Structure formats: structure tokens, C-alpha cells
């Protein structure tokens, strides 16, 4: 990972945080408000810098430079303006209790594990999932490579499959990171994707902390990072998590009473995904009906400002949307088709169980929470109203969809549920009773140090355990000091098979086992052990470099091979296994595999 | 906080913990020995078409170019795997727009999987660059 994409994100974060501070003023800060401003600042900064970059991409061939100058100027103006303000009055925070500390530790360790899972998901598909590369990164490439002609190129009918009408926030954000990097690195695209997910989590946790205290914040955070689909999708370079982040930011700001940022975030949600247009309409309507009349003008003004980029794009450049393009009138009858209602409800029932990719559904814990908080705080109307109206809107869109309904549901419903999931978590956590302020004194320095030490120890233990997990195609791993020696299936094998704890692979003929040796593990003696079996009698030789390290007769009865004191150099080395007989068909069936020999349960000692 | 509150917290933490552990199990780390060729189709395609972008620039090709594969346009449109190949090629070659239907473009990309480039060229085209593996840059020879 190079520095420029990180720097581009840091500049966006700083700019957004200053903007949030300028917009919300310096009235009394509640505990957690600073963290909430930082999380909201990341989202606002990513949105505003994407708008600036996209605007310049229509005017100049090097939008990175022009937008960078404007960002620097904005930073200077905001810093100067905010520097003149007096210090904020920060409400005193309640002392931490030990159960709260323990819960915070669980959250931190869960976050660490989630970050590792998210990184692995990115490493498996660096350019993202299907929509990641086929829509969002492709649009980003057009912005980065197409010069000022990109709208004309994207309007080409041959590219209609890339959904050229989709809003540009994510694509422009990625293209901006690439412009700072000077190269189209998938790592930069993954970093932008992860930044949105991290900001979403930050808004959820900090928002709940401000609104309901530490325990609600921790529980909300655990529910979100305990959703594997959210974690693996965080780096998948789609726009669903960025959209969910803006929707959540709008709702949290709305509940917090920061109405102008709330309306701006609703506008940015619309600049992220077409679902955001529905969200902006729903959220704007709910906000206007739940706020005093004297605030309506400011809300409408901020909403209009937030919607300006998407309105300009939709009116100026975007082709018709695939859902709205075909004439609507003939499809109105679909609203009353019982088969469509049945199909949608059936898919909803299925995907409510599956969308989070959970092993244990969180609904039992949520239900327990509803039971436990029967006389809990009332949830501000804004949150459930937005969730219900958004869900209703999605339902109607499916009813009116011009596409094959089953296909449409199968390819999108889980993502729509993920978009609403953070709002559902917030609604559930807002029922949580506010923690009563405690007067417990601060723990002694020794205890604090002990707590931090224990946390760091657990984190280190988790990282070591995760680092010891076998990767795809790997069969054995051995730690040598700080380094590792890994053994993996190389070329010449059919797909590896397993039954219980036993693992094996059949060869097509000559085959390889590959070693990867870390620098600090090189040179030391390695012992390798595996079992060989073959169809029919044959002689098998195992070679390392030019040296035959084992040879012998092999047949149906397994033969144990022990290779002792192998000296492996740093880097990659192959153990070549070959036999003196051609492979033999495993059966008389047509298409039967031709098998030479099988290696069972390779071990490194 | 009362006992039942901590019960809920425990239930949420346990649920999240189990789900995360299972996510770790399902998502193994990337192999320390990178697979050759790469397992991710997008990465494979990026490598396959790495030289084409520079060649298109060198020949000052702009806008829309033709796209030939082993299938006719009609069969291509009905073959999901071939369409994925076409989409991946388009992703690799942005900002050039690939047109699999128009056989009269001045420039075209051939993405041949089955023939490896040994097949006769599409009528009216000559090969300008052979990138290997069935990837060719073609130029139209007759108007």
C-alpha cells in the first residue's frame, strides 16, 4: 500500500471534519460527539471531494490537480474560520465501569478480527465483486482514463450494461484516489471501499454513544461487525455500503438535531446510488413533517444543495434508468399481481435469514433485547419511519420491475437488506436505556496499564492465530522463529479432496508440492512427511532441485514417505514427484480421470 | 444496568463472536505462493490484456473498436461465460468501447480462447499485433 491513496483519504477526512464542525457549531458537546464528528467528517469529506473531482473531470484532463488545489483552498478557509472560535464546552463523561471496559475490549478484538476478514476478502478479489469491477471501477476508469470525453464514452449504447445512469460518488472517489496515486491500483479502490465501511461503523458506534451511551454503542457495533456479509462486503468495492453509510449518517444527524448535515447526507446518498433518490425523498419528507416549521427553509435549502450534483448529472448526462426507462403505464397492473407479491415475500423470507451470511442468526438476541427493554426509551419516530418507508419503496420497485422478477430479487435483495441493516441496528439500540452516570473514580495507573497490556496481549494472540491459518491450496505450515515455511499443492494435481481430517490429491502425472520459505526461516532443516498411493504398481521418485530425495515402489497400499533434514532456500522451491508409469483411468466410465499417484496428508515438522 | 440487560449484551456478543469465527474459517488467508495463473478472473484478464492498451494508444485508436471472439455475436449474447469474458475485456480496455456486433470498425480486438490465434482472421482485417494467447489487435484492410 503506497502513501498517496492514504493521503488522499486523510485530506478528505480532514476537510469533511472541518466542514461538519462548521455546520454543527460549537454548542455544548455531549460525550462521544467528537468521535461522531470525525466519523461524519470522513463521509462528508469523501462525498465533497468526489463532487469536486467529478466536476473538474468534465472540464480539464487532469482533474486530480485542479480538485487538489480547490481542496487545499477549502481547507485553508475552513481552518481559518474555525480557528477564531472559542473552545467547545464538553459535557463531562461518566466514569468507565469494569463491565463497560470488558465490553469495549470485546468490541476492539472483534474489530481486529473483522479487519483481517475484510482484508482477506479484498485479497481474494482485488478489483471487487461483479458490480465492483463491472460498474463502479469501470466508471472510475472512464473518469480516470477518458478525459473530459467520459460522459460521451459512457453514453455509448455498447456500455448500457454498465448502468451508465448510476450516480458518480463512488466512481469519482476511486478515480480521485487513483489520480493522487498516479496509477490505477486495486489497493486504492479497496481502501476507498473500506473507508466507507469504517466510517459507517464509526457513525453507528459514535452516534449510539452520543444518543444512548457506551453499552448501546458497543452492542450496536458488535451486531454490525458480527454480520459477516457486512465485513466481507466492506472491501468489495460496491456502492451499497457507501449508500448505507450516508443514509445512516443522515438519520443519526436527524436524531441528534443536526438538521443541515442530515439533509446534506441525504443528498449525498442520492449521489451514491439510485436508491438514494428514494431515500432523499423519504428522509426529506419525514424530516419536514417531524421538525418545527421555522426549520423547514434551512432543511430544504440543505437538501437542495446536497441533491445538486445528482440532479445536474441526471439532467445533463445520465441516460434513462433501466427500471424507469420503459413506459410505466403497462406495468402498473403488476402492482396487483398476487404471484409477484408472493415471489417478493418468499424471497424476503429467504434472504432475511441469509443476507448477513450468519452462522447464528442475531434475531434471537434482538428479540431478547425487545423483551428485556419493554419499558425502554421511545425510539425517535424518524428512524422507524425511514426504515418502513424505504422497505415499502423497495417493495413497490420490485412489483414494477421490468426485469425477470426472480433474477432481479436474486441479484439485489440481499444488498438492499444490507443497506437497511445499520438503520435497523440503530432503531433497536435506541430502545436501550441510557446508562446512569457513575461516580466511580478513575482506576489506578497500574490497573490501567494492566488493562491495556491484557488487551494488546489478546490482540497479538489473535493475530498469531489468524496468521497460522492455512491459505487456499496450502496443506501445511510450520513456524520457525518469526518466519514460516508453507507447503502447498503445486502443478499437476486434480482438485484436492478431503474426508474428515484426511486430505489428499491425485496427480495427472508428474506433480509438484511447493514450499514458500520466509527469509528468517530459510536454511534450517525441514522434515516433510506424506503418504503415497497409486493405481497399479509403479516406482515413484521425489526430487528436490537436481537431487533425488526419495524413491520407491508404490501401489494401492499406502507408503509413508519421510524426507528428513531438507535444506530449503528462502522463497519458492518445488518438490517434484514423478513415476515411471503413465497415469491410469480411474474407471471405465466416459470422462474418467487418468490418475498416476495420490499424496495424502502432507505434514511439515 | 440490570441482569437482563447484561443477558442481552452477552447474547449479542456470543452471536457476533460465533459469526466472526465462522467468517474467519470460511475466508482463508491469501496463499503465500501466488497462484499462476491468478485465481481471480479480473486479475487474469488484466494480465492477458496488459499490452493492448499501449498498442491502441500507439496506433492513435480512439472511441469504439470491434470485438471478435470464438463465437458469432448472436451466440456470444446467449453464452454467459463468453459474455463475462467480453465484459472483463471491456473493463481491461476502458476507455475504448468494444462493440461485438459491428464487424466493420477500422480497428478490432480479437480475444480467441479456443484457437489461440491460429484461426483465419476475420474477413477484411489484418493482424497488427499478436499479444499471444489468442489476443490480437486487428486493422481493417478494406473500406
Query: What's the pLDDT at B133?
Result: 86
Judged by DSSP in three states, A249 sits in helix
- Residue A442's pLDDT band (cuts 50, 70, 90): low
Domain-embedded: residue A464: no
pLDDT of residue A376: 66
The answer to whether residue A468 sits within a structural domain is no
Q: Which residues of A touch B94 (CB under 8 A)?
A: 138, 141-142, 145-146
The reply to whether A437 falls in a domain is no
**DSSP per residue, A269-309:** HHTT-THHHHHHHHHHHHHHHHS-GGGHHHHHHHHHHHHHH
Given a cut of 70, whether residue B37 has pLDDT beyond it is no
Per the domain annotation, does B120 fall within a domain? yes
Q: Which of B24, B32, B98 sits opposite A471 (nearest CB)?
A: B32
A184 and A57 housed in the same domain: yes
Q: Do A114 and B13 touch (CB under 8 A)?
A: no
Mutate to test the interface with A, among B7, B16, B108 (most CBs of A within 10 A): B16
End-to-end, the C-alpha distance of chain B in Å comes to 82
- Looking at per-residue pLDDT, the higher value among A109 and A447 belongs to A109
- Check if A474 contacts B (Cβ < 8 Å): yes
**Please, which pLDDT band fits residue A353 given cuts at 50, 70 and 90?**
very high
CA nearest to B40 within chain A: A125
Mean per-residue pLDDT, A399-416: 95
Q: How far apart are CA A117 and CA A228, in angstroms?
A: 9
| CA-based radius of gyration for chain A | 29
Distance of CA A490 to the CA centre of its chain: 31
Among A429, A459, A487, identify where a domain stops. A429
Is residue A372 over pLDDT 90? Answer: no
Domain assignment present for B75? yes
* Alpha carbon of B67: minimum distance to chain A alpha carbons (Å): 11
A224 within 8 A of A231, measured Cβ to Cβ: no
**Crossing angle for the helix pair A275-290 and A259-270, to the nearest 10 degrees:** 160
Q: Name the residue among B15, B32, B46 with its Cβ closest to that of A226.
A: B15
- Tens of pLDDT, residue by residue over B53-104, are 999 999 999 899 999 998 888 999 999 999 999 999 999 999 999 999 988 8
Q: Determine, yes or no, domain membership for B36.
A: no
The mean pLDDT of A424-445, rounded to a whole number, is: 77
A243-270: per-residue pLDDT in tens?
Answer: 999 999 999 999 999 999 999 999 999 9
Is the residue at B12 inside a domain? yes
Task: For chain B, say whether A514 makes contact (Cβ under 8 Å).
Answer: yes
Output the average pLDDT for chain A: 91
Residue A151, pLDDT above cutoff 70: yes
One domain for residues A226 and A319: yes
Q: What is the mean pLDDT of residues A3-26?
A: 92
Cell numbers that stand for A192 in this block: 476507498
A137–B91: do the CB atoms touch at under 8 Å? yes
**B96 in the same domain as B63:** yes
Q: Is residue A381 domain-shared with residue A486, that is, in the same domain? A: no
**Cβ distance of B31 and A471 shorter than 8 Å:** yes
Tens digit of pLDDT for each residue in A509-541?
Answer: 999 999 999 888 887 778 999 999 998 899 999
Rounded Cα distance between A370 and A376, Å, is 9
At A82 the pLDDT is 85
Range of the domain at A50: 3-77+106-429
- Residue entry with cell 464542525: A21
Total structural domains within chain B: 2
DSSP, res B89? H
Distances (CA, A) of A494 to A124, A244, A540, A599, B118: 21, 43, 18, 11, 29
- Is residue A340 located within the same domain as residue A486? no
A422 shares its domain with A543: no
Q: Return the SS3 of A536.
A: coil
The pair phi, psi for residue B140, each rounded to 5°, is -70, 135
Q: Does A429 touch chain B (CB under 8 A)?
A: no
For A369, the closest chain B residue by CA position comes to B8
Q: State residue A335's pLDDT score.
A: 93
Structural domain for B25, as ranges: 1-30
| pLDDT tens string A302-344 | 999 999 999 999 998 887 777 666 677 788 889 999 999 999 9
- Give the Cα separation of A33 and A30 in Å (integer): 5
Q: Are A496 and A534 in contact (CB under 8 A)?
A: no
Question: What's the pLDDT score for residue A329?
Answer: 79
Q: Which helix (H) or strand (E) holds B13?
A: helix B3-26
State which of A373, A394, A429 marks the end of a domain: A429
**B117 pLDDT higher than 60:** no
Q: What ipTM was predicted for this assembly?
A: 0.93
Report d(CA B39, CA B30) in Å as an integer. Answer: 11
Residue of B20, B50, B82 best to disrupt the A interface, most CBs of A under 10 A:
B20
Residue A302 lies in a domain: yes
Number of separate domains in chain A: 2
Asked if B23 and B51 sit in the same domain, the reply is: no
Residue A82 lies in a domain: no
At A2, is the pLDDT very low, low, confident or very high (cuts 50, 70, 90)? confident
The residue among A299, A237, A310 whose CA lies nearest residue A275 is A310
Distance of CA A479 to CAs A84, A552, B31, Å?
57, 30, 16
Q: Which residues contact B67 (CB under 8 A, 6 or more apart)?
A: B86, B89, B98, B99, B100, B108, B109, B111
Residue B64 is nearest to which of A156, A371, A466, comparing CB atoms?
A: A156
CB contact under 8 A, B28 and A120: yes
Residue at A269 is within a domain: yes
Is B57 inside any structural domain?
yes
Does residue A424 share a domain with residue A286?
Answer: yes
Is residue A434 domain-resident?
A: no
Q: Would you call A141 and B94 a contact, using CB atoms and an 8 Å cutoff?
A: yes
pLDDT of residue A325: 64
What is the predicted pLDDT for the residue at A27? 67
Same domain? For B60 and B25 the reply is no
Are B105 and B48 in the same domain? yes
Chain A segment 557-586 residues within 8 A of B by beta carbon are 572
- Tell me whether residue B35 is in a domain: no
pLDDT at B118 over 90: no
* Residue B54 sits in the same domain as residue B4: no
**B22 and B51 assigned to the same domain:** no
The verdict on a CB contact (< 8 Å) between A161 and B87 is yes
% of chain A exceeding 70 in pLDDT: 96
What is the pLDDT at residue A211?
92
Decide: A136 and A239 in contact? Cβ < 8 Å. yes
CATH value at residue A557: 2.60.120
Q: Which residues of B touch A365 (CB under 8 A)?
A: 8, 11-12, 14-15
Quote the pLDDT of residue A22: 92
Helix axes A338-354, A382-400, angle to 10 degrees: 130
Same domain, A478 and A413: no
Amino acid at each position: 500500500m503506497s502513501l498517496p491513496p492514504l493521503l488522499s483519504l486523510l485530506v478528505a477526512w480532514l476537510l469533511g471534519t472541518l466542514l461538519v464542525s462548521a455546520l454543527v457549531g460549537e454548542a455544548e458537546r455531549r460525550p462521544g460527539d467528537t468521535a461522531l464528528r470525525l466519523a461524519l467528517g470522513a463521509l462528508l469529506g469523501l462525498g465533497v471531494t468526489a463532487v469536486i473531482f467529478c466536476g473538474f473531470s468534465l472540464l480539464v484532463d487532469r482533474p486530480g490537480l485542479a480538485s487538489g488545489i480547490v481542496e487545499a483552498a477549502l481547507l485553508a478557509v475552513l481552518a481559518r474560520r474555525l480557528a477564531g472560535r472559542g473552545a467547545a464546552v464538553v459535557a463531562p463523561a461518566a466514569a468507565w465501569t469494569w463491565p463497560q471496559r470488558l465490553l469495549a475490549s470485546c468490541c476492539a478484538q472483534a474489530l481486529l478480527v473483522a479487519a483481517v476478514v475484510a482484508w482477506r476478502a479484498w485479497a481474494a478479489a482485488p478489483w471487487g465483486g461483479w458490480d465492483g469491477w463491472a460498474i463502479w471501477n469501470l466508471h472510475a476508469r472512464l473518469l480516470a482514463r477518458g478525459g473530459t470525453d467520459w460522459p460521451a464514452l459512457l453514453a455509448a449504447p455498447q456500455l448500457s450494461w454498465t448502468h451508465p445512469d448510476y450516480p458518480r460518488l463512488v466512481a469519482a472517489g476511486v478515480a480521485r484516489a487513483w489520480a493522487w496515486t498516479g496509477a490505477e491500483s486495486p489497493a486504492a479502490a479497496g481502501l476507498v471501499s473500506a473507508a466507507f465501511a469504517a466510517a459507517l461503523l464509526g457513525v453507528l458506534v459514535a452516534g449510539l454513544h452520543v444518543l444512548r451511551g457506551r453499552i448501546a454503542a458497543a452492542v450496536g457495533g458488535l451486531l454490525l461487525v458480527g454480520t459477516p456479509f457486512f465485513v466481507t462486503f466492506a472491501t468489495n468495492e460496491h456502492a451499497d455500503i457507501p449508500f448505507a453509510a450516508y443514509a445512516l449518517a443522515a438519520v443519526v444527524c436527524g436524531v441528534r438535531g443536526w438538521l443541515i448535515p442530515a439533509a446534506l447526507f441525504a443528498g449525498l446518498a442520492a449521489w451514491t446510488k439510485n436508491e438514494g433518490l428514494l431515500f432523499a425523498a423519504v428522509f426529506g419528507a419525514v424530516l419536514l413533517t417531524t421538525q418545527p416549521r421555522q426549520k423547514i427553509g434551512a432543511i430544504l435549502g440543505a437538501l437542495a444543495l446536497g441533491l445538486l450534483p445528482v440532479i445536474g448529472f441526471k439532467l445533463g448526462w445520465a441516460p434513462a434508468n433501466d427500471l424507469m426507462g420503459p413506459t410505466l403505464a403497462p406495468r402498473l397492473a403488476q402492482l396487483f399481481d398476487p404471484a409477484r407479491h408472493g415471489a417478493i415475500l418468499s424471497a424476503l423470507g429467504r434472504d432475511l435469514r441469509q443476507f448477513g451470511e450468519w452462522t447464528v442468526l442475531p434475531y434471537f438476541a434482538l428479540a431478547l433485547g425487545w423483551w428485556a427493554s419493554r419499558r425502554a426509551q421511545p425510539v425517535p419516530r424518524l428512524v422507524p419511519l425511514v426504515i418502513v418507508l424505504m422497505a415499502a419503496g423497495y417493495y413497490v420497485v420490485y412489483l414494477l420491475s421490468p426485469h425477470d422478477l426472480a433474477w432481479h430479487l436474486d441479484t439485489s435483495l440481499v444488498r438492499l437488506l444490507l443497506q437497511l441493516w445499520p438503520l435497523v441496528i440503530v432503531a433497536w439500540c435506541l430502545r436501550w436505556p441510557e446508562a446512569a452516570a457513575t461516580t466511580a473514580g478513575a482506576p489506578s495507573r497500574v490497573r490501567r496499564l494492566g488493562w491495556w497490556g491484557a488487551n494488546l496481549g489478546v490482540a497479538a494472540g489473535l493475530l498469531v492465530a489468524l496468521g497460522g491459518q492455512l491459505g487456499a491450496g496450502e496443506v501445511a505450515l510450520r513456524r520457525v522463529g518469526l518466519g514460516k515455511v508453507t507447503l502447498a499443492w503445486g502443478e499437476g494435481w486434480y482438485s484436492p479432496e478431503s474426508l474428515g481430517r484426511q486430505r489428499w490429491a491425485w496427480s495427472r502425472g508428474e506433480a509438484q508440492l511447493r514450499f514458500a520459505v520466509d527469509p528468517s526461516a530459510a536454511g534450517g532443516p525441514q522434515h516433510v512427511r506424506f503418504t503415497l498411493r497409486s493405481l497399479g504398481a509403479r516406482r515413484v521418485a521425489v526430487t528436490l532441485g537436481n537431487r533425488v530425495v526419495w524413491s520407491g515402489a508404490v501401489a494401492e497400499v499406502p507408503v509413508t514417505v519421510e524426507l528428513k533434514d531438507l535444506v530449503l532456500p528462502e522463497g519458492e522451491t518445488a518438490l517434484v514427484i514423478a513415476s515411471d508409469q503413465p497415469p491410469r483411468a480411474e474407471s471405465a466410465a466416459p470422462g474418467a480421470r487418468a490418475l498416476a499417484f495420490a499424496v495424502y496428508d502432507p505434514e511439515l515438522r | 444496568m440490570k441482569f437482563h440487560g447484561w443477558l442481552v449484551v452477552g447474547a449479542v456478543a456470543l452471536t457476533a463472536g460465533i459469526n466472526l469465527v465462522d467468517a474467519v474459517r470460511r475466508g482463508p488467508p491469501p496463499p503465500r505462493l501466488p497462484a499462476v495463473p491468478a485465481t481471480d478472473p479480473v486479475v487474469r484478464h488484466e494480465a492477458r490484456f496488459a499490452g493492448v492498451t499501449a498498442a491502441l494508444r500507439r496506433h492513435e485508436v480512439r472511441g469504439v473498436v470491434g470485438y471478435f471472439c470464438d463465437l458469432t455475436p448472436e451466440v456470444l449474447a446467449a453464452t454467459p461465460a463468453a459474455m463475462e469474458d467480453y465484459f472483463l475485456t471491456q473493463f481491461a480496455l476502458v476507455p475504448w468501447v468494444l462493440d461485438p456486433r459491428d464487424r466493420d470498425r477500422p480497428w478490432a480486438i480479437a480475444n480467441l480462447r479456443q484457437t489461440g490465434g491460429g484461426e483465419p482472421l476475420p474477413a477484411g482485417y489484418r493482424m497488427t499485433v499478436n499479444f499471444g494467447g489468442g489476443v490480437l489487435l486487428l486493422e481493417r484492410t478494406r473500406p
